[in-house]
Amino acid sequence: MNREIGDELQEIQPIGPIFRCSDFAEAPEIPEEMLARWRTTANLMAEIAGVPTGVITRVHPTQLEVLVACDREDNPYKQGLRADLNTGMCCETVMQERTQLLVPNALKDPEWADNPNVSLGLISYLGFPLQWDSGEVFGTICVLDNKENAFGSTYQKLLETFKHAVESDLKLVTQMAERRRENVEVEHLLTDRRHLLTLIESTSDFVGMASLSGEVKYINPAGMAMLGRASEDYRELTVADTHPEQDTQTLFNVAQPTLKERGIWNGELSMIHRDGSLIPVSMVLVLFRRVGRQNRRQIASKLTRRSWTTRRVKAARQSAADVADLSTCARHRRQCRSGVEASPVRAGSYQV
């Protein structure tokens, strides 16, 4: 590149951005193979129109970049060159108004006589805006000449065709970027799932999952051990296999309606050990939907063996109270036999 031309472009001082910075947030990069195809397009534009300059630009918050350019030696706009915005460039008007711009001879048009292209010897301009699929501005596609050129309708239609081809590529870039983001999100979800599964597998509480119809979908190792079925496959069990009949009916007739209404249910039931004994448990059920399978609803449960201890404590307290009452009654009878006036007895007046 001519050093003086390059220096002149790089030294243009910015006045301020003409686009919202949010327009450029996380904008995807253009693949190299696509840029190579665009370079071919730029060469074809310049060759067919018989002009020194054919370029595709990309806008940044405060600058316009020559993303690809034709290979002609007399083209002053080389790939990678940047110029500051708000300096009166034709491309700025194209992006701001998002429409085609034709300037046959800037020297004869007071509006464009001082635009930066003129100082580089380019006096005619034809350009179209390039937009992402979202409608946000990407840049421009344009051809410039060093002599007066009205760019007939054939050239205008040709350049518009190239514009649509580039915008189709931009749509593809957006789709590929979205797939990459989705893949990253899926990987994060899988990582979270692995961490959650590790936590569930290592907890000492019973954690399980079942369908509303009673089909067991999962029971963690601690849960299977609690049921005395550590060596068995939980997929061969149903809710009815793990609960006595009365509690099974409670789950279907009491818990499920509450789950469907509120999304959560808790209570105290019993589970059946493999040897037939009952295991009192505190149970928390949560209803959730499995996305992607016709919104199939399932129940996640967390159980602890707290009820057994609670019942034993209650029974012990009641036994102690009964003993205290019997002792009081015996003392009352002895006092009556000895002629001593007895104090009245109030049930439930003893604390254990």
Going along the chain from its start, the domains and CATH numbers come out as 3-180 (3.30.450.40), 203-304 (3.30.450.20)
Provide the CA 60 distance to its chain's centre, in angstroms. 26
Strand order of the β-sheet with 82-84 is 82-84, 63-69, 53-59, 137-145, 124-131, 101-103
- Going along the chain, which residue ranges are E strands? 53-59, 63-69, 82-84, 101-103, 124-131, 137-145, 206-211, 216-219, 264-272, 278-290, 296-304
Amino acid at residue number 304: T
Closest Cα partner for 266 from 297, 287, 237, 289? Answer: 287
Amino acid residing at 114: D
Give SS3 for 190. Answer: helix
| 303, 283 Cβ separation under 8 angstroms | yes
Q: Calculate the CA 333 to chain-centre distance.
A: 78
Cα–Cα distance between 247 and 257 in angstroms, integer? 15
CB 123 within 8 A of CB 146: yes
Question: In angstroms, rounded to a whole number, what is the distance separating the alpha carbons of residues 176 and 31?
Answer: 10
pTM of the model: 0.57
Of the CA atoms within 13 Å of residue 42, those in its CB half-sphere come to 27
What spatial distance separates the first Cα and last Cα of the chain, rounded to whole Å?
98
| Tens digit of pLDDT at every position of the chain (352 positions) | 343 444 444 443 333 334 443 344 467 889 999 999 999 999 999 999 999 999 999 999 999 999 999 999 999 999 999 999 999 999 999 999 999 999 999 999 999 999 999 999 999 999 999 999 999 999 999 999 999 999 999 999 999 999 999 999 999 999 998 888 888 888 888 888 888 888 888 888 889 999 889 999 999 999 999 999 999 999 999 999 999 999 999 999 999 999 889 999 999 999 999 999 999 988 899 988 765 544 456 666 656 665 444 444 454 455 444 444 444 444 444 444 444 433 332 222 222 2
Angle, nearest 10°, between helix axes 153-202 and 32-49? 170
